[in-house]
Structure 1
Amino acid sequence: MILRKQWACKLGEKLFPNLNEEVQKQVLKECCEQENVYLEQQGGHLYKNVVNVIEKLSQRYKLYIVSNCQDGYIEAFYKYHGLEEYFLDYENPGRTGLSKGENIKLMIERNNLLDAIYVGDTNGDLKAARYAGIPFVYAKYGFGEVSEYDYVIEDFAELLNIF
């Protein structure tokens, strides 16, 4: 499992300030592994209509996931929720060690995408989309505050009306 060094160091220092860096990394690694096991067995809370909307979108568009998660997280998510069939590819820094913007670019290149967009809910998502040179859809119902975007949705199902 690859944890981005800068992220892992900052998180380790914040959560386990009394442990040395090597022990911090090991604890974080074990936490990530346990999180993946839990997600595979218990799943996560999905927004209303997510499965239905993803199914409909996949009939008209090619869908991909780029996330900030650790290696194994997306696979666990797929397994529990049964959504793998709708997505053609995925990427995360846990596999590549790259930033979200770099992973978006990698996804675009790897899949020969000509007309991509990114849906997200944080300034980090906005910056990643801008870095990759693609439009950004702000999911306003999410966790972050974003002041700049190309499109905005108040509910996940609104993705069906944007495109």
Structure 2
Amino acid sequence: MEAVAWSLCQTPDPDLEKAADELIELIAAAQCGDGYLNTYFMLKGPQERWSNLAECHELYYAGHLIEAGVAFFVAGGKRRLLEVVCRLADHVCTVFGPERDQLHGYDGHPEIELALTRLYEVTQERRYLTLANYLVEQRGTEPHFYDIEYEKRRQSGHVKSYGPPLGGAQ
């Protein structure tokens, strides 16, 4: 989607733009009421949301979708996908952070931090920049979030893993 936005900026293509607009409407229609948006977890494992950040890349995918929303807005002024990704980012801001009832983790592949920073640049919503900074600062802290996450999955019997977490717990 991001590549499509930048492509349309360089070379207008009404057919490609129409296809993108239709896909954006499908994405918007699929979004959960709380702003969450990841069709795998929505359809296959809703109870497993945000339970395996090291391997399932929910924040990574969210980051790339946010980048696409920003690109459509910057490249052509289109707000529809930007509205969708702001709802997604708002959801991420409620789930992750320093508060007791929030997750203190970060993604296995950094991307969400860049995307939230770019989203801040176009919206001036400080919470996006604050969360991006928080996620960067959490990376590498001890105890390793992935060890804690893995242990929770192991205790619940929901270990879907390709090996021990990056922090080293067995």
Q: TM-score, normalised by structure 1?
A: 0.33
Q: TM-score, normalised by structure 2?
A: 0.32
Higher strand share: 1
Greater length-normalized contact order (CA 8 Å, ≥ 6 residues apart): 2
